[in-house]
Amino acid sequence: MKQFIAVVLLVWMHGAILAQDSDSSKKPGSAYIVSGSLDMYYRYNFNNPKAYPYNNYTSFTHSSNSFELGMASVRIDHSFGKVAVTIDLGFGKRAEEFAYNDVNTLLAVKQAYLSYASSSKIKFTLGSWATHVGFELLDAYLNRTYSMSYMFSYGPFSHTGLKADISLGGKSALMVGVANPTDYRTAPSTPKSLIAQFSTGSKDDKLKAYFNFVGGKQNDYKKVVQGDVVLNYIVNEKFNLGFNGTIQSLKIDPDSAGKFNSANWEGLALYINYDPAKWFGLTLRTEYINDPDQYLGFKNVIVPTVAANFRVENLTIIPEFRFDHTGKDVFHKNDVDMTNSTGSFIFAAVYHF
């Protein structure tokens, strides 16, 4: 915690110095932005399990009957002409799980990258950034539900490498890149993965579509290819829809004998959002996972989640009810018996600046 406080103070002092020296003639075209967020939550699983993972098989909410810090974040963005840099730090269990391949610490680098815009149509980025795959995002304030989907939890979290963002004109763009195996910040002796995204939308911006891809060897014994689609549609100022569909195909050599077995899983999720007032909104997320080869260990999953968003300026209060039903008995019914379904309640507070 002392390390995180020191980082925050350093950022604040740097911002104060820049504010005192804001002569644009000395620093033409420069921009400096500090932002951040904090989220905390309480989760109660109605089966009241006593041990990890507390009837929770998705990211960031492995607790029950406990008040928890999700993540405190500080992000620094600086640009000068065609060059920009982003440093994004997080403290808490959410950050630790996101950067699980890094050193086991609550203080984690979420993102760190440099960008260079060689023209108005092409930008190159080198470093580590959050994945383009999937509908949901790491920072809690960017989601309307606090708990995460299975597709987010079992897909990629981050990529480290080099990518190019290319404008194709109109609402369309292409991203292509090469990166380390999924979620690895350092991977000197492993092959690299291909990442890509094609994005487009309607002229009125009511419909936006993203077609995502990541594929390649993770190591000598595992190959992963994933295709993913994200759609957003604004029906009117109070009602909008989101959709995420994903397919992950794997080839695995479990005993390192050179014989690869195939495994696949796929998922669908629909997000229905209704905002009758600026201070209040409702979201229904319905997710289905098909896991025929039981690579994830569930056989199949059906998860309806209902969340309310109460907004007071930059603060959002999220009460949420969630019901998980799987094709196997993976949840604790009590200290002895297992069951294939469980319900949970989450109360979360999320703030961003």
* Confidence at 4, pLDDT banded by 50, 70, 90: very low
DSSP symbols for 260-304: -EEEEEEEEEEEEEEEEETTEEEEEEEEEEE-TT-SSS-SEEEEE
User: For position 5, what pLDDT does the model report?
Assistant: 43
Enumerate residues 6+ apart whose C-beta is below 8 A from 157.
98, 99, 100, 130, 131, 138, 182, 183
Enumerate residues 6+ apart whose C-beta is below 8 A from 205.
171, 234
CA–CA distance, 68 with 10 (Å, rounded to integer): 26
pLDDT tens by residue, 296-309: 999 999 999 999 99
Check residue 151 and give left, alpha or beta (phi > 0: left; psi -120 to 50: alpha).
alpha
Alpha carbon 126 to its chain's center? 19
Residue 335 has pLDDT above 90, yes or no: no
Enumerate residues 6+ apart whose C-beta is below 8 A from 191.
181, 216, 217
Average pLDDT over residues 221-244: 97
CA–CA distance, 183 with 186 (Å, rounded to integer): 9
Contact 100, 33 (CB under 8 A): no
Separation in Å, CA 201 to CA 204, 205, 210: 8, 6, 9
* Confidence at 105, pLDDT banded by 50, 70, 90: confident
Mean pLDDT of the chain: 91
Contact 195, 161 (CB under 8 A): yes
pLDDT tens by residue, 242-297: 999 999 999 988 777 778 889 999 999 999 999 999 999 999 999 999 999 999 99
Closest CA to 130 of 144, 112, 142, 115: 112
**How many CA atoms, within 13 angstroms, populate the side-chain half-sphere of residue 172?**
4
CA–CA distance, 137 with 88 (Å, rounded to integer): 14
Residue 26 has pLDDT above 50, yes or no: no
pLDDT tens by residue, 192-217: 999 999 999 999 999 999 999 999 99
Per DSSP, what are the bridge partners of residue 231? Answer: 209, 243
Enumerate residues 6+ apart whose C-beta is below 8 A from 26.
none
Domain chopping of the chain, boundaries:
2-352
347 token code pair: 């109360």
* Confidence at 20, pLDDT banded by 50, 70, 90: very low
Alpha carbon 222 to its chain's center? 23
118 token code pair: 């060689």
Where is average pLDDT lowest: 29-43, 68-82, 193-207? 29-43
The answer, yes or no, to whether the previous bond of 156 is cis (omega within 30 of 0) is: no
User: For position 8, what pLDDT does the model report?
Assistant: 44
Per DSSP, what are the bridge partners of residue 303? Answer: 287
Residue 9 has pLDDT above 60, yes or no: no
User: For position 258, what pLDDT does the model report?
Assistant: 73
- Strands 158-169, 172-179: pairing kind: antiparallel
Provide the residue type at 242 as one letter: G
User: For position 316, what pLDDT does the model report?
Assistant: 98
**Helix (H, G, I), strand (E, B), or coil: what is residue 142?**
helix
Q: What pTM value is reported for the model?
A: 0.90
- φ and ψ at residue 93, rounded to 5 degrees: -65, -35
* Confidence at 16, pLDDT banded by 50, 70, 90: very low
CA–CA distance, 280 with 308 (Å, rounded to integer): 7
Top CATH class, 2-352: mainly beta
Provide the residue type at 183 as one letter: D
User: For position 3, what pLDDT does the model report?
Assistant: 52
CA–CA distance, 127 with 8 (Å, rounded to integer): 22
Average pLDDT over residues 78-90: 96
